Amino acid sequence: MTTVPRWVKILFRTAGLFTLFAVIGGSLVAATHSGFECGNWPGCDADAILPGGPVNELLYRNPWIEMAHRASAVLSGPLALISGIVALRLKGAHPLVKVLPWVTVACAIVAGFVGRGIVLGEVYPTWVGAADLGAALVALTAMTTATIALERTPAQWFTTRTGVYAWGALATLLVMHLAGLWAAGPSSFTRVVSWPVWRLLEADVHGSLFAQWLRFPLVAAAALLIFLAAREAKALGLWREGITATVLAIANLAFGAGIALSGTDALGVPFAMSSVAVFFTMILLAARSTVLATQAAASRRMSDPTPAPEAPGRARP
């Protein structure tokens, strides 16, 4: 039986956690309009590393939100790099454990380069912003999946109905979020990680009409796939992830509808955070339903395409 040292598990979990913080922070920065409150890089001002002066509002144009996001994003890359180096020396680990941290490193470099340029006044075309967001979401998916594969060493990739639906939902959500950058107008919450609501703010009238229309069949497909994955997840003992993803998706649409109907941005933060939460929960569901401990996968290969739930008392990553 191959065992993974406890410190390696902690390293991977920490790298995954900081990658998640980077995505949460980026979405929160956009939702609170805090991105330009620190006009220098890597410090906040030309003569100060950290923000100074009073903070007028906690969740509006707060430089500390921007700096917290930068810190998590800057740390996520080196942590993934160290994880990748350590993984190369692990015996018996699944190839995903050895490859995916390097995917996270590459994505962190892309996101960091674009983020730095924006802070320093570079004006990028929309596709560069899409590359930035896409890199952040792919990094989160890669590092989370690598961590789960490490936790289940010796692990094996095993196709399940839950996994097919969950990975399909993730791919659909990714395209939907990227399309939002073209659909959004200036200062619109559509620019953050969001689900589509028609003319979320009046600013969206200046966005791409085609991109707005494209996002609606995507959200319908994503909602269906999330529902199917949640329904199948019970057989795997993953019902918590399934229910959580469903509830978060419903809450997200409710927050978006509230913004659209009221014309206020008071729900911008929960709208953005619930979008990130749906995406992250679907990563957990997808990875946990397809990256299985070798013994669990082998025991079900003979007759059932859906693997058995984990043994009682066994901790899940």
Displacement of CA 129 from its chain's centroid (Å): 16
The residues near 175 (Cβ < 8 Å, ≥ 6 apart) are: 218
Please choose, from the candidates 151, 186, 163, 130, the residue with its C-alpha nearest in 3D space to the C-alpha of residue 238: 163
Q: pLDDT digits over 213-257, tens only?
A: 888 899 999 999 999 999 999 989 999 999 999 999 999 989 888
Please choose, from the candidates 2, 4, 1, the residue with its C-alpha nearest in 3D space to the C-alpha of residue 86: 4
Percent over 90 (pLDDT), the chain: 56
Structure pTM? Answer: 0.89
The residues near 1 (Cβ < 8 Å, ≥ 6 apart) are: 154
Query: What's the pLDDT at 102?
Result: 98
- The mean-pLDDT minimum among 30-39, 70-79, 300-309 falls in 300-309
The residues near 56 (Cβ < 8 Å, ≥ 6 apart) are: none
Does 307 or 74 have the greater pLDDT score?
A: 74
Extract the tokens encoding 209. 């009409």
Judge residue 199's burial from the number of C-beta atoms within 10 Å of its C-beta, 0-12 exposed, 13-18 middle, 19 or more buried. middle
Does 242 or 47 have the greater pLDDT score?
A: 242
Torsion angle in degrees (nearest 10) through CA of 97, 312, 162, 248: -90
Q: In the chain, what are the domain boundaries?
A: 1-153, 156-317
Q: pLDDT digits over 60-96, tens only?
A: 889 999 999 999 999 999 999 999 999 999 988 999 9
Extract the tokens encoding 141. 């998916």
Query: What's the pLDDT at 181?
Result: 87
Burial 221-234 (b: 16+ CB within 10 A, else e): bbbebbbbbbebbe
Report the distance separating Cα 164 and Cα 284, nearest Å.
13
Query: What's the pLDDT at 299?
Result: 54
Give the other-Cβ count within 10 Å of 192's Cβ: 25
Report the distance separating Cα 99 and Cα 145, nearest Å.
11
Report the distance separating Cα 160 and Cα 167, nearest Å.
11
| Residue 112 contacts residue 255 (beta carbons within 8 Å) | no
Does 68 or 259 have the greater pLDDT score?
A: 68
The mean pLDDT of 165-181, rounded to a whole number, is 95
- The mean-pLDDT minimum among 131-140, 157-166, 193-202 falls in 193-202
The β-bridge partners of 157 are: 291
Mean pLDDT of the chain: 86
